[in-house]
Each structure stands twice: as structure tokens, then as C-alpha cells.
Amino acid sequence: MVFSGIPFLFFFLPISLVLYYIVPFKAKNHVLLIASLIFYAWGEPVYILLMIFSTFVSYMGGVLYLKDPKRKKLYTLLSVAVNLFLLGFFKYANLFISTISSVTGADITALNLLLPIGISFYTFQTISYNIDVYRGNVPPERNFLTLMTYVCMFPQLIAGPIVRYETVMEEMKCRKITFDGFSDGMIIFLHGLFKKVLLANTIGELFNDITSSAPSEHGLLTLWLGIIAFYFHIYFDFSGYSDMAVGMGKMLGFNFLKNFNYPMTATSVSDFWRRWHMSLTTWFRDYVYIPLGGSRCPPYKHIRNILVVWALTGFWHGASWNFLVWGLYFGILLILEKYVFGNFLKRIPAFFSHIYTTVIVTLGWAIFSLEDFGIMSEYIKRMFVNDRIIDGEFMFYSIPYLPLLFVSLFFAVPIYPKLKSAVASWKKPVQYSAGAIGVITYGVLFVLSVALIVGNAYNPFLYFRF
């Protein structure tokens, strides 16, 4: 079944919230657990059992640690190994089988497994729980339903952010649910909704139109326009969902950490990855990079650590070899910034380092978005070497889409927070007027979002397949 996220969410969320608020606190986790299972079953009913089994394995790892602390390392390794096996089998089995078949010529039948929605996210959550228990950062959870609620909590289940148990451990048992928290969460949720529906969905159609035909059919600027459109698409798609997850979490009394911090303002690749999908970046830092030795080791080992982390980061994103190349691409760039030209980037004006970062990251999205290596290489080559710089097709797309690109750029940089901060310093009557305009604007954008959801069949979530 194809997950139909937002339309279902409009009917599901209000009912779940009403039930959640009216039941006593002791029953809130149960309501949240049932609602989360229904939410997941709407998209993947069969794979609920897989998610429950994965959580049970992690739960037993903690329980066995309580009974026999001397073997905590063994129990941790077993729990992590089982969950990694499940992730590897369901996500990468078809890729490895098809690769072996094409290399060896053997006729191996593919398993044709459907990828369980959100498996990359909830697997990393269960693994982080077991490792944190082993390290003593969190105590083993004795109540299986509490741990299950944490893993399958519907706001962040499908596409993150990757929430660690230590972040919500106290809130799982005691949390404040207030009107201010609800209103703040609603605003954050609406921001994410607008980013996803009004920006990501609309601009994503431009990338699809351009890549629906061979790169040789497009001029140089048209190809750049297509990848820039994908950059905006994936940013507003993923950050929009993350905002909705953070907002819904706040409405439920949870404080999830922010997952994006205006990555398009980055002035280096290192800076970009401190701002993009921060929950994944810090996950690999804390559970892979630092255990390997981090940067406190000889340069050759440091380089190895970076390459290992970014190979895994790339491969985490999807069962296709282009994601591995994409990860190594950024790993090599991070090494170059560390050992070759990083100091130079810090000395030059921020404008030029920002241009460098934007071009490098945009090229990376070409590797990320085009799984066929032949098409990918042709596309990238013609972004630089093309007998047509500008053509009629570029003008055709520019007329309807350039205004949208400028609007997207406005919301991709921190202009809105600065305006909001400026309004707070104005006189009270002006603030009230600005507040009234804001309420009307939110209302119009919400109605427009609902209209687009109902009338537009193009409503994907890119990160659902990761």
C-alpha cells in the first residue's frame, strides 16, 4: 500500500488529539501507542509486526542487562546485530542480489521485498537506545509498552527526526501539556505544512518535468534549473515533515530537537552538515565516528573514519549505489576542507564561500537524485559542457517557476525569524495589527494547502523511501 500521509493526517490527527487530551495522564501513552499503530498500519499493515519485533529485541537487550549486568556487552551486540540485520535484509537484499546477478551473470531471483516505511529511522532509534543503555546514559526501560510508544510515536515515525530515548525519557513518564505548548506546536506544524504542500510539492514538479527526458535534450541553464529545483524540493519536503513532527510532538507534550537550521546559508560543506538533517549527522558522530576514534588520531585514521562514516551515511539513504557515491563525495570534500583548503575558506569573504558551498551541494543533489549512472554522468557533464547555454525550454520554465524559486529562497534563509523579532520590538498597536495580518495569512495559506492536497495527486514524501 502506498502511504498517503497528509490527506489521512488531516482526518486522523484531530481525532487522536481529542482522545489524547480527554483521557487521564496514565492512559495518554496508551492512546498515543494505539494511534501510532493505526497511523503506521494505514501505510504498511504487515510491517507493524516487524517494527514490534525490532522494538522487542531492543527491549529484551535492556531487560537481560538488568538481570545479568556482566554480559551487558553481549546483549547490546546481539540487539544491535539483529536490528542491523533486519534493516540490511529488507532494505538492501534486492540491491545485492541484482548486483551479484549483473556482475556474475547468474540468474538469481530477486526477493522483491517492499521497503518497510520508516525502517531506517526507527532502527536507528532502537540501536541508539541499546547503546545508550550500555553506556549508562539511560536506564533500561522496564515497561515494554513505554518503549514501544517511543519507537512508533507517529509524529516522527515515518521520516524522523531521529529522536533518541534520552531526549524524551522523562517526558514519556511525566510531561506538561499546556495551551502555550499546543499553540506553539500548531504554529510549527503549520509552517511545516506550508513548506511541504505549497513549496516542495509545487517545485518538485519542475524537477520531474526536466528529468523526464534525456539530459541531451536540455540546455545548460535548464539542467541547472532542474537540480536547483530538486534542492529546494528535498529541503522543503524533509524540513517540512520535520517541522510537522516537532510541532505535533509539542502539541503532545514532547520536545523533539530541531532537525534543520537553514542549511542553504552554509559557508562550507562542514557547515552544511551541521545544519542539514542534524539528528542523522549527530547520530553518526556519536555512534560511529567517535567510537572509531573521531579526529583524535593520526591523520590517516581520521581520513578513514570520515570515509567510513560518509559511506554509511550515503548508503543509509537508499538501496542504490548512487547513494554510496553521494556519501563518499561529501566525505572526500570534508577531508579536503579539513586538510587542504579549509583555512582558505575561512579567510575569504563569506559571500564567496557561500557560493562555493551552494555549487558543491547542488552538484551533490545531482548524484543523489539520479540513480542511473549513465544518466547521472551525462547530466552533470552537460551542466558544464553544453552547446546550448540557454534555450527556449529554459524560458518556458522560468516564466511560471522563477517567482516560486524566489519565494522558496526567501523561506530558505532566516529572513522570517528576523522580521518576527523586529515586530516584537514595535509598539503594541503595531504588534496587534501585525498579529491580525499574521492570523489572516495563516488562514489563507491553510485553506490553500488543503485545496492543493485535495486537488493534487502529486504529494510524495521523498524520505519515506529511506
> Residues 126-139: pLDDT tens digits?
999 999 999 999 99
Distance of alpha carbon 176 from alpha carbon 24, whole angstroms: 13
> Do 149 and 172 form a contact (C-beta atoms < 8 A)?
yes
Confidence at residue 1, expressed as pLDDT on a 0 to 100 scale: 37
> Do 259 and 246 form a contact (C-beta atoms < 8 A)?
yes
Handedness of CA 314, 317, 320, 323 (dihedral sign): negative
pLDDT band at residue 421, thresholds of 50, 70 and 90?
Answer: confident
- Tell whether the model's pLDDT for residue 232 goes beyond 70: yes
> Do 195 and 243 form a contact (C-beta atoms < 8 A)?
yes
DSSP tag of 115: P
Q: What angle do CA 12, 17, 21 make, to 5 degrees?
A: 155
> Do 354 and 262 form a contact (C-beta atoms < 8 A)?
no
Q: Which of 277, 302, 317, 354 is catalytic?
A: 317
Distances in Å between the Cα of 449 and the Cα atoms of 10, 182, 446 are: 11, 21, 5
**277 a catalytic residue:** no
Report how far apart the first and last C-alpha atoms of the chain are (Å, whole number): 16
Distance of alpha carbon 393 from alpha carbon 66, whole angstroms: 65
pLDDT band at residue 56, thresholds of 50, 70 and 90?
Answer: very high
- Tell whether the model's pLDDT for residue 68 goes beyond 80: yes
Confidence at residue 2, expressed as pLDDT on a 0 to 100 scale: 40
> Residues 85-112: pLDDT tens digits?
999 998 988 888 888 888 887 777 777 7
Confidence at residue 133, expressed as pLDDT on a 0 to 100 scale: 93
- Tell whether the model's pLDDT for residue 189 goes beyond 70: yes
- Tell me which of 345 and 2 has the higher pLDDT: 345
Residue 320 CB contacts under 8 Å (≥ 6 apart), including other chains: 95, 371
pTM summary value: 0.89
> Do 162 and 281 form a contact (C-beta atoms < 8 A)?
no
> Do 103 and 321 form a contact (C-beta atoms < 8 A)?
no
- Tell whether the model's pLDDT for residue 224 goes beyond 80: yes
- Tell whether the model's pLDDT for residue 160 goes beyond 90: no
Confidence at residue 148, expressed as pLDDT on a 0 to 100 scale: 94
Lowest pLDDT segment from 200-214, 247-261, 262-276, 437-451: 437-451
